[in-house]
């Protein structure tokens, strides 16, 4: 299995990771090798098999609809790269 240059560039955009031109050929090789490994899955007969999402097939627990958390905005925002007036700062989005 090979993965094309275009596919790598598309996936990099989806994953929000900048990939420089000089990295693409190494990625073509590495991702191609990983996908070769993964292609062994095709050999398995899984026609009547249900996909398994949780090792114990447990279901999502529901909790009572009660307030359990306190507001800790300041503590949480203290770890942010840039904040102002309780807001996270990012480059201008709307001109």
Partner 1 sequence: MHNKTVAELARELDSGTVSSLELTQQLLDRIKKEDSKYNSFITVTEEQALADARAADEQRAAGNATPWTGIPFAHKDIFCTNGIRTTCGSRMLENFIPPYDATVTENFRKAGAVCLGKTNMDEFAMGSSNESSYFGAVTNPWGLDNGEKRVPGGSSGGSAAAVAARLVPAATATDTGGSIRQPAALCGITGLKPTYGRVSRYGMIAFASSLDQGGTMARTAEDNAMMLNVMAGFDPKDSTSIERDVPDYTATLNEPLKGLRIGLPKEYFSDQLSPAMEEQVRAAVREYEKLGATVKEVSLPNAKLAIAAYYVIAPAEASANLSRFDGVRYGYRCEDPKDLMDLYTRTRAEGFGNEVKRRILVGTYALSHGYYDAYYLKAQKVRRLIQQDFANAFKEVDVLMSPVSPSPAFIQGEKTNDPVTMYLEDIFTIAINLAGLPAMSVPAGFVDGLPVGLQIIGDHFAEARLLNAAHQFQQVTDWHQREPK
* CB proximity list for 28: less than 8 A, separation 6 or greater: 2, 3, 4, 5, 8
- Compute the least distance from the CB of residue 83 to partner 1, in Å: 9
* CB proximity list for 3: less than 8 A, separation 6 or greater: 28, 31, 32, 35
Site map 39..78 versus partner 1, x via CB under 8 A: xxxxxx-x--xxxxxxxx-x-xx-x--------x--xx-x
- Residues in contact with partner 1 by the rule CB under 8 A: 3, 7-8, 10-20, 27, 30-31, 33-44, 46, 49-56, 58, 60-61, 63, 72, 75-76, 78-82, 88, 90-93
């Amino acid at each position: 299995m090979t993965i094309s240059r275009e596919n790598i560039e598309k996936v990099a955009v989806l994953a929000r990771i900048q990939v420089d031109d000089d990295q693409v050929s190494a990625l073509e090789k590495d991702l191609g090798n990983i996908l070769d490994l993964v292609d062994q899955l095709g050999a398995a007969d899984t026609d009547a098999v249900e996909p398994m999402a949780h090792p114990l097939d447990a279901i999502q627990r529901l909790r009572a609809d009660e307030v359990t958390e306190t507001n800790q905005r300041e503590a949480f925002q203290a770890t942010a790269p840039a904040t102002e007036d309780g807001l996270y700062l990012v480059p201008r989005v709307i001109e």
